[in-house]
Amino acid sequence: MDQIRVLIVDDSAFMRMVLKDIIDKEPDMKVVGLAKDGIEAVEKALSLNPDVITLDVEMPKKNGLDALSEIMLKSPTRVIMVSSLTSKEASITIECLEKGAFDFIQKPAGSTSWTIRDVQDELLIKIRESMNVSIEKLKSIHFVGSKKIKKSARVNILGEKVVLIASSTGGPRSLDVIIPQLPENLNVPIIIVQHMPAGFTASLAYRLDKISNLKVKEAEEGEFLQKNVVYIAPGDFHLGLKQEDHKIKLFLDKSDKINNVRPSADFTFDLAAEIFKENSLAVILTGMGRDGAKGAFKVKHYGGKVIAESKETSVVYGMPKIVAQEGYADFVLPNYDIAEKILEILTDQSRGIKR
C-alpha cells in the first residue's frame, strides 16, 4: 500500500521536528517536506503534491487561512489545521474549516514533546481518515448553493418543540449552510452538539451568530432554554436538559466521554427526547463515528422525527450513514435542503418518508 505523503507546515522548528517524528514512525505515512511559513507552504504544496498537509494557523508572512485559501485554489489538498487555543486562532481555525480544511488538532498548552504526544493519536487518526474524503468534496462543499429563507418567513408552530443537531468532522460547513437559512421567528430552540475541544465552540457560535437570523451562543450552566436561540454545547462538556418550575434548564456535565467524545449528542438527545417526546426533531450531520445514533433512536422511540445528512454533502459519511442504515432516519437530505425540511416538519406540513 502506498504511504500517505505529508507536508508539515509550522513556524516552530521544534513543532516541525516533533510532528515529523510522530508521522515518520508510522509505516503507512512519510513526511515529504517541511515549511516554516505560509509562503513556503504554498510553494511546497505545488512542488511536492502531498496527500495531506498539517498547517499551522498563526505564521509569519502568510497565515494559515491565507495559505489554505491559496492552496485550495492552486493545488487542492487535504489539510489539517494545527491551532493554539487563543481566541484569535480559534476564530481563524473555524473559518479554515468552512473554507476547505478537513479538520484540526489543538496544540497542547506548553507544546513540549510530552504534551504534543498527548494528541498524536488524534493527529494520526485524522490523517488516515482524511484519505477517505475526495478532494472534490473539500473544494466544493463550501460553495453549495443554498436557498435562502426570508428573514420574516411565516412559521406557525404549535406546542413546545425542539431541534437537536449532531455534527462532527465537516460540521461547521454544513451548519454554515443550514442555520443561516432559518428565520428569526422560528419559535423553537435549537441545540447543536458539535465535536470540538473547549474554546473552539465559542468561536463557532460567534461566527454562526454573525451570519444567521437567529441568535447563536455557547450554552451556559443554569440558563433556561429559550425559543429563537441556537445553543452550542461547550467543548469538553456534555450538555444536559432538566425541567424546573415549568421551564427547561441547561446544565453542563463532565462525566466520562460517550462514543469517545465530550460533548456527546447521545447524552443531549437522550435527555431532550425524555422531555419533548414526539415534539423532538433530530438532525444528524457529517462526522466520524456513531455519536447521535442512540439519540436518534430515542427520538424515534418517542415519536419524533429524524433527518440525516446525505452522502452527497457529508465530508465524512459516518454518523448520518449509521442513522440511515439502522432505519432511524425519516429523511436523508443534502445539507442545502435540510433547513427547508426542518420548517416543514415543525409546521406539520411534512408528508410521508423519503430516502
Respond yes or no: is residue 168 known to be catalytic.
Answer: yes
Please state, rounded to an integer, the average pLDDT across all residues of the chain. Answer: 89
Categorize the per-residue pLDDT at 99 as very low, low, confident or very high, splitting at 50, 70 and 90: confident
Q: How far is CA 132 from the centre of its chain?
A: 17
- Furthest C-alpha separation in the chain: 64
Answer whether residue 146 is part of any domain.
no
Extended beta strands in 67-173, E state = 78-83, 103-106, 162-167
Model confidence at 351, in pLDDT bands (50, 70, 90)? very low
What is the predicted pLDDT for the residue at 153? 52
Residue 335 lies in a domain: yes
Query: Do the domain assignments include residue 157?
Result: no
Query: Would you place residue 286 in the very low, low, confident or very high pLDDT band (cuts 50, 70, 90)?
Result: very high
CA angle 107, 110, 116 (to 5 degrees): 45
Strands 52-56 and 29-35: unpaired
Which position among 56, 174, 176, 195 bears the catalytic label? 195
CA dihedral 8, 55, 58, 22 (to 10 degrees): -50
Cα separation, 165 vs 113, in Å, equals 37
Same domain, 74 and 134: yes
Average pLDDT over residues 211-235: 96
In this prediction, residues 311-335 reach a mean pLDDT of: 96
pLDDT value, residue 101: 95
142 is known as an active-site residue:
no
Do 319 and 290 form a contact (C-beta atoms < 8 A)? Answer: yes
Residue 143 pLDDT greater than 80, yes or no: no
CA 19 to chain centre: 24
The rounded Cα 197 to chain-centroid distance in angstroms is 11
Q: Are residues 242 and 109 in the same domain?
A: no
- Lowest model confidence (mean pLDDT) among 180-184, 257-261, 322-326, 344-348: 344-348
Neighbouring-strand partners of residue 313: none
Three cell numbers written together for 101: 480544511
Contact by Cβ (8 Å): 50, 77: yes
The domain containing residue 243 runs over which residues? 162-350
CATH number of the domain to which 337 belongs: 3.40.50.180
In a shared domain, residues 199 and 343:
yes
Band (140; pLDDT cuts 50, 70, 90): confident
* Global pTM value: 0.90
Q: Which of 91, 130, 167, 168 is catalytic?
A: 168
Active site residue 246: no
pLDDT digits (tens, 9 = 90+) for 289-318: 999 999 999 999 999 999 999 999 999 999
- Annotated catalytic residue within 51, 56, 266, 291: 291
